[in-house]
Amino acid sequence: MSKPRPIIDSHLDLAWSAVFFDHNLSKSVQEIRDAEKGMSDETARNRNVLSYPELRKSGVAVCVGTLLARCGPRQPLRTTGPARTDPDYIIPEHAYAAAHAQLAYYRLMQQQGHIKMIRTATELDAHWAAYAKDPVKTPMGMILSMEGADPIVTPDQAHEWFGNGLRAAGLTHYGIGQHGYGTAVEGPLSAMGIELLRVMDDLGMILDVTHLCDESMAQAFDYFEGPLLASHHNCRALVPGDRQLTDDQIKTIIARNGVIGGALDAWMLYPAGWIRGQTHYSATTLQTFADHIDHVCQIAGNTRHSALGTDLDGGFGNEQTPADLRIYSDLQNLAGILAGRGYAEADIDAIFHNNWLNFFRKNLPK
Residue 154 lies inside a defined structural domain of this protein: yes
Residue 16 lies inside a defined structural domain of this protein: yes
Residue 83 lies inside a defined structural domain of this protein: yes
Specify the CATH number for the domain of residue 41: 3.20.20.140
Alpha helices in 140-190 (DSSP H): 158-163
Per-residue b or e along 33-62, where b marks 16 or more CB atoms closer than 10 Å to that residue's CB: beebeeeeeeebbbbbbbbbebbbbbbbbb
- Domain count for the chain, please give it: 1
Output the pLDDT for position 317.
94
Amino acid at 358: N
Residue 257 lies inside a defined structural domain of this protein: yes
What is the full DSSP assignment across 307-351? EE---TTSS--GGGS-TT-SSGGGGGGHHHHHHHTT--HHHHHII
Q: Are 288 and 330 in contact (CB under 8 A)?
A: no
Output the pLDDT for position 80.
44
Cα distance between residue 347 and residue 290, in whole Å:
13
Output the pLDDT for position 79.
44
Output the pLDDT for position 352.
99
- What pLDDT, in 10s, does the model give residues 275-300? 877 888 888 999 999 999 999 999 99
Which helix or strand (DSSP H or E) is residue 170 part of? Answer: strand 166-170
Output the pLDDT for position 44.
87
> Where in the sequence is the domain holding 346, given as residue range(s)?
7-363
Residue 2 lies inside a defined structural domain of this protein: no
Is the sign of the CA dihedral 254, 302, 352, 6 positive or negative?
A: negative
Residue segments in the chain with a per-residue pLDDT below the cut of 50 = 78-85
Output the pLDDT for position 76.
55
Residue 80 lies inside a defined structural domain of this protein: yes
